[in-house]
Amino acid sequence: MKTELSEEEFKHVTEAILSGNKIHAIKLYREFTGQGLVEGKKAVEAITAKLVPAHPELKQKNAAGFSTLTIALIIGIVIYLLWQRFG
HEC per residue, 15-84 = HHHHCCCHHHHHHHHHHHHCCCHHHHHHHHHHHHHHHCCCCHHHCCCCCCCCCHHHHHHHHHHHHHHHHH
Does the global pTM surpass 0.95? Answer: no
Give tens-digit pLDDT for 2-58: 778 999 999 999 999 988 889 999 999 999 999 999 999 999 999 988 888 887 777
Residue 4 gets which letter from DSSP? P
Q: Could you give the 3-state DSSP secondary structure of residue 13? A: helix
User: Per-domain residue ranges for the chain?
Assistant: 1-51, 61-87
State how far the Cα of 4 lies from the Cα of 7, in Å rounded to an integer. Answer: 9
Residue 22 corresponds to which amino acid? Answer: K
